[in-house]
């Protein structure tokens, strides 16, 4: 293990560090690595997720404020491939990774791995559904309480089956609920649907991706449309938006962010008259109503441009935006770069990043600059992970001097290493997982269980569920004549109460739990 980690560290190299410019390539010689995700951390460093070919696994890289390697972890399995996927970190420093585990005998299935603030594995879960052929996770949100929300894709040969799912997983890896969105049952005109990302805005959510949706006069034939789904704070579907049906728009949605309290701006692409992709900027309100759109044609960027596709976007100020965009003279295989635009689609500046490929992600940093992750392509066909930082003039940022403290939520210095999930993996059969509506409806009541029942004449124990979600709780016990025989306060998170019944007369009793005078739970028990 020690020799392996030394090889990884010394196998990394940096592009352009001699000029003190903020750009780095992470990779190992003669292997192909690929970028998947990047996020800013609480300590002003960055976390990167990507593919690591040598071990058929996911590569997590932690950098300092200037993008220099601090530590790295390779998530691998002795027998199966671990797909490269999305990562997120909560305020406690815990990290979740979500993608898939590839079972050669049974396809890919959604995988979530949770690490503590020191990068040590806490748990690993694979979620299998026998009604489907395979699936994986596309995106993940890690809540500050430790819970996880993952966006999943599931597939069968039948297009009418559900495709887009949210999985809510508690901090211990237990699947609490699962819900399908844009279902065929509720939206029969949606002939196909795929979710790519999920975004949290205040306490609500938006999924972006694409769907197959028909023209009004031809309901039997679907065309690929940019697609958005609005979801409320209790994870109930509010609306769906196949964008641009009446304007004959075909394409895909890659990102979305709020322009203000009521209007969202989405980015993606639409096919032009020559079947090449053009940037598409979409505007809709919080109720999912389409407002307007703007496209940037290839000719507006340059006379030799054959395709341009924005994959992520951030706001510079109230009128200007920066979009990480795939563009160039080829139908496919073009490098990434950036466009500075306004909402009318006017282009103020462009910059191409040669030898980049794959997917890209742009994030705004703590100092109002921008870090972009993508894949770097070498002349010998090797590929590595590329990370660079720019300002709003699209110029490479310079490194920051000084000493900084990293990973302060971990009491020890984090070491690079292998995270082997072969032994920690638990397979969960989704089975009859409740919907969020069923689950949250259950939280509105206090479930009470009495045992032993009948009691032995000395003591009865009352167990409570869901006390964490209510305030001002009070337990009262009555006999069959309605006489109050016992009362006590119940505290939040209290799980049980032991009641001495030695002086109670034999017979039937009822236990009630009140919250502010309203009965939330009840049960009956016998005393002998």
Which ranges constitute the DSSP H helices of 343-493? Answer: 436-442
327 and 409 inside one domain: yes
Phi/psi of residue 469, each to 5°?
-100, 10
pLDDT > 70: what percent of the chain?
95
Per DSSP bridges, beta strands 290-296 and 192-201 are unpaired
Q: Domain of 153: which CATH number?
A: 2.120.10
507 and 387 inside one domain: no
> What is the domain count for the chain?
2
164 and 308 inside one domain: yes
> In the predicted model, what is the mean pLDDT of residues 412-434?
87
- Report the alpha-carbon distance of residue 320 to residue 301 in Å, rounded: 17
How high is the pLDDT of residue 21? Answer: 87
Closest CA to 528 of 469, 467, 453, 475: 453
Per DSSP bridges, beta strands 383-390 and 57-63 are unpaired
* Longest CA span, the chain: 93
Q: Which one of 398, 429, 460 terminates a domain?
A: 429
- The string of DSSP codes covering 36-61 is EEEEE-TTS-EEEEEEEGGGTEEEEE
How high is the pLDDT of residue 428? Answer: 76
Structure tokens at 223: 């065309």
122 and 63 inside one domain: yes
- Report the alpha-carbon distance of residue 82 to residue 148 in Å, rounded: 19
71 and 117 inside one domain: yes
109 and 13 inside one domain: yes
Residue 17 clears pLDDT 90, i.e. is over it: no
- Report the alpha-carbon distance of residue 42 to residue 44 in Å, rounded: 6
How high is the pLDDT of residue 425? Answer: 79
Structure tokens at 207: 């999924």
Residue 329 clears pLDDT 80, i.e. is over it: yes
Structure tokens at 341: 């635009």
Q: Note whether residue 99 is domain-resident.
A: yes
Residue 465 clears pLDDT 50, i.e. is over it: yes
H-helix or E-strand spanning residue 178: strand 175-181
Q: Domain of 475: which CATH number?
A: 2.60.40.2470
Identify the domain containing residue 361 by its residue range.
2-181+297-429
How high is the pLDDT of residue 10? Answer: 34
- Angle CA(243)–CA(248)–CA(251) in degrees, nearest 5? 55
How high is the pLDDT of residue 381? Answer: 87
Q: Which one of 429, 463, 494 terminates a domain?
A: 429
394 and 513 inside one domain: no
Average pLDDT, the chain: 91
Q: Note whether residue 228 is domain-resident.
A: no
- Report the alpha-carbon distance of residue 132 to residue 160 in Å, rounded: 12
Q: In which band, very low, low, confident or very high, does the pLDDT at 7 lie, cut at 50, 70 and 90? A: very low
Q: Note whether residue 39 is domain-resident.
A: yes
How high is the pLDDT of residue 229? Answer: 98
Closest CA to 389 of 324, 320, 345, 301: 324
**pLDDT tens digits, one per residue of 269-326:** 999 776 789 999 999 999 999 999 999 999 999 999 999 999 999 999 999 999 999 9
112 and 16 inside one domain: yes
354 and 477 inside one domain: no
475 and 339 inside one domain: no
Residue 299 carries which DSSP code?
A: H
> In the predicted model, what is the mean pLDDT of residues 165-189?
93
Residue 18 CB coordination number (10 Å): 7
406 and 457 inside one domain: no
Q: Is 467 in contact with 490 (CB distance < 8 Å)? A: yes
H-helix or E-strand spanning residue 6: helix 2-11
- Report the alpha-carbon distance of residue 45 to residue 69 in Å, rounded: 10
Q: Which one of 395, 429, 463 terminates a domain?
A: 429
**pLDDT tens digits, one per residue of 360-386:** 999 999 999 999 999 999 998 899 999
Q: Note whether residue 401 is domain-resident.
A: yes
Alpha-carbon dihedral angle through residues 15, 18, 21, 27, given to the nearest 10 degrees: 20
- Report the alpha-carbon distance of residue 310 to residue 339 in Å, rounded: 9
Q: pTM of this prediction?
A: 0.85
Residue 223 clears pLDDT 70, i.e. is over it: yes
- Report the alpha-carbon distance of residue 295 to residue 248 in Å, rounded: 13
**pLDDT tens digits, one per residue of 99-120:** 999 987 778 999 999 999 999 9
Q: In which band, very low, low, confident or very high, does the pLDDT at 159 lie, cut at 50, 70 and 90? A: low
How high is the pLDDT of residue 384? Answer: 97
**pLDDT tens digits, one per residue of 498-522:** 999 999 999 999 999 999 889 999 9
Residue 429 clears pLDDT 80, i.e. is over it: no
Phi/psi of residue 53, each to 5°?
-65, -40
**pLDDT tens digits, one per residue of 236-271:** 999 999 999 999 999 999 999 999 999 999 999 999
Residue 150 clears pLDDT 60, i.e. is over it: yes
Q: Note whether residue 202 is domain-resident.
A: no
Q: Which residue has the tokens 């999912």?
A: 288
**pLDDT tens digits, one per residue of 25-70:** 999 988 999 999 999 999 999 999 999 999 999 999 999 999 999 9
Check residue 326 and give left, alpha or beta (phi > 0: left; psi -120 to 50: alpha): beta
Q: Is 179 in contact with 435 (CB distance < 8 Å)? A: yes
Sign of the alpha-carbon torsion through 466, 469, 473, 478: negative
423 and 448 inside one domain: no
Q: Note whether residue 52 is domain-resident.
A: yes
**pLDDT tens digits, one per residue of 19-29:** 478 999 999 98
Q: Note whether residue 188 is domain-resident.
A: no
- The string of DSSP codes covering 189-233 is T--EEEEEEEEEETTEEEEEEEEEEEETTEEEEEEEEEEEEEE-T
- Report the alpha-carbon distance of residue 98 to residue 85 in Å, rounded: 6
Q: Note whether residue 385 is domain-resident.
A: yes
């Amino acid at each position: 293990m020690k020799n392996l980690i030394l090889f990884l560290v010394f196998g990394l190299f940096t592009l352009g560090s001699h000029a003190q410019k903020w750009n780095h390539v992470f990779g190992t010689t003669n292997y192909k690595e690929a970028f998947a995700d990047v996020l800013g951390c609480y300590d002003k460093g960055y976390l990167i997720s990507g593919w690591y070919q040598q071990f058929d696994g996911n590569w997590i890289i932690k950098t300092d404020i200037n993008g220099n390697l601090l530590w790295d972890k390779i998530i691998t399995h002795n027998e199966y491939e671990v797909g490269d996927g999305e990562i997120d970190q909560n305020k406690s420093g815990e990290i979740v990774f979500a993608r898939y585990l590839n079972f050669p005998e049974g396809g890919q299935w959604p995988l979530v791995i949770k690490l503590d603030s020191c990068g040590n594995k806490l748990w690993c879960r694979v979620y299998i559904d026998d009604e489907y052929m395979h699936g994986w996770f596309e995106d993940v949100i890690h809540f500050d309480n430790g819970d996880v929300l993952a966006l999943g894709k599931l597939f069968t040969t039948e297009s009418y089956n559900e495709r887009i799912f949210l999985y809510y997983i508690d901090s211990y890896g237990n699947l609490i609920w699962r819900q399908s969105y844009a279902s065929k049952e509720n939206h029969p005109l949606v002939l196909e649907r795929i979710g790519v990302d999920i975004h949290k805005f205040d306490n609500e959510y938006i999924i972006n991706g694409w769907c197959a949706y028909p023209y009004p006069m031809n309901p039997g034939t679907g065309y690929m449309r940019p697609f958005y789904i609005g979801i409320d704070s209790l994870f109930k579907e509010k609306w769906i938006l196949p964008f641009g049906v009446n304007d004959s728009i075909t394409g895909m949605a890659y990102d979305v962010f709020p322009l203000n309290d009521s209007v969202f701006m989405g980015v993606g692409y639409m096919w032009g008259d020559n079947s090449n992709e053009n940037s598409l900027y979409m505007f809709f309100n919080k109720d999912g109503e389409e407002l307007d759109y703007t496209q940037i044609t290839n000719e507006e960027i340059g006379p030799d441009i054959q395709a341009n596709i924005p994959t992520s976007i951030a706001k510079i100020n109230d009128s200007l935006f920066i979009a990480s965009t795939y563009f160039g003279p080829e139908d496919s295989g073009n490098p990434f770069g950036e466009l500075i635009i306004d909402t009318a689609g006017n282009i103020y500046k462009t910059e191409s990043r040669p030898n980049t490929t794959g997917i890209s992600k742009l994030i705004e940093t703590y100092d109002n600059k921008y870090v972009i992750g993508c894949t770097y392509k070498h002349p010998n066909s090797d590929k590595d992970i590329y990370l660079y930082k720019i300002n709003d003039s699209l110029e490479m940022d310079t490194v920051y001097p000084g000493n900084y403290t990293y990973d302060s939520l971990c009491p020890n210095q984090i070491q690079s290493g292998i995270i082997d999930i072969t032994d920690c993996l638990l397979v969960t059969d989704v089975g009859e997982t409740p919907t969020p509506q069923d689950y949250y409806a259950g939280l509105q009541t206090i479930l009470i269980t009495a045992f032993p029942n009948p009691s032995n004449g000395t003591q009865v124990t009352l167990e409570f569920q869901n006390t964490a979600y209510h305030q001002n709780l009070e337990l009262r016990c009555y006999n069959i004549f309605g006489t109050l025989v016992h009362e006590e306060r119940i505290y939040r998170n209290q799980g049980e109460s032991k009641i001495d019944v030695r002086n109670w007369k034999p017979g039937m009793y009822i236990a009630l739990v009140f919250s502010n005078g309203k009965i939330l739970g009840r049960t009956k028990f016998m005393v002998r």
